[in-house]
């Protein structure tokens, strides 16, 4: 890659983009590309408003090539961006712990009126009912799932399968994806994992994971 290529990191629920600083630094060092964080409020805005803002963010960069890395809900923001506006300039996409179908942890948490209010509109739209999503966009998608069950979601959902403590491995699988790997990290731990950063960089460069 070169400095003319851009990578956009899209964070998850209740995050700001700052939590992905180490990951972004590693991707920039590994790939020599410009890495940006797109920030949004999942609590106060619906997915249409969020994807409008992301579309404007990408357009302002006017990159010849742009790659995306989405953590958790951030992956669904990217998915909806492509669904609404088509794929922007050429590039590749990596999802990290994204619940591509409904999230059992989010569904259980929503039973609490207080927690449900904190989740906001975009979570209600994307995670509280099953979606039959399929990756049909003209760019490769790699998905990283975690198998180290550390997180409150483990207690909420009572997973009886591998999970990252918030999202089950089965919930990360999206038909049409190019590649999928499982790494022994937790949902938040994947953002500081050197292994996840290396695999993400490898996919953005090669269109596949080295572990695949």
Which pLDDT tens digit goes with each residue over 139-180? 999 999 999 987 555 545 456 688 998 899 999 999 999 999
Closest by alpha carbon to 139, among 72, 50, 212, 68? Answer: 68
Each domain of the chain, given as residue ranges in start order, spans: 5-206
CA angle at 203 for the pair 201 and 205, rounded to the nearest 5°: 70
How far CA 162 is from CA of 100, 149, 167, 179, 205, in Å, comes to: 16, 7, 9, 18, 28
How far apart, in whole angstroms, are the C-alpha atoms of residue 204 and residue 161?
Answer: 29
The pLDDT value recorded for residue 39 is 95
Under-50 pLDDT residues of the chain:
105-106, 108-112, 114-116, 155, 157
How far apart, in whole angstroms, are the C-alpha atoms of residue 186 and residue 28?
Answer: 23
Say if domain 5-206 classifies as CATH 3.40.50.1820: yes
């Amino acid at each position: 890659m070169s400095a003319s290529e851009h990578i956009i990191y899209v964070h998850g629920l209740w995050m700001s983009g700052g939590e992905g600083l180490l990951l972004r630094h590693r991707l920039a060092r590994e790939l020599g590309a410009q890495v940006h964080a797109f920030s949004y409020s999942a609590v106060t805005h619906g997915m249409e408003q969020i994807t409008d803002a992301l579309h404007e963010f990408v357009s302002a960069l006017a990159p010849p090539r742009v790659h995306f890395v989405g953590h958790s809900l951030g992956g669904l923001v990217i998915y909806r961006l492509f669904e609404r506006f088509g794929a922007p300039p050429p590039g590749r996409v990596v999802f990290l712990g994204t619940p591509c179908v409904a999230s059992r942890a989010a569904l259980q948490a929503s039973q609490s009126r207080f927690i449900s209010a904190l989740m906001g509109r975009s979570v209600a739209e994307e995670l509280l009912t099953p979606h039959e999503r399929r990756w049909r966009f003209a760019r490769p998608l790699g998905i990283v799932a975690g198998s180290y069950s550390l997180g409150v979601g483990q207690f909420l959902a009572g997973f009886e399968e591998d999970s990252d403590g918030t999202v089950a491995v089965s919930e990360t699988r999206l038909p049409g994806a190019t590649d999928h790997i499982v790494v022994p990290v937790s949902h938040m731990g994947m953002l500081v994992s050197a292994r996840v950063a290396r695999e993400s960089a490898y996919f953005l460069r090669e269109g596949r994971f080295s572990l695949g």
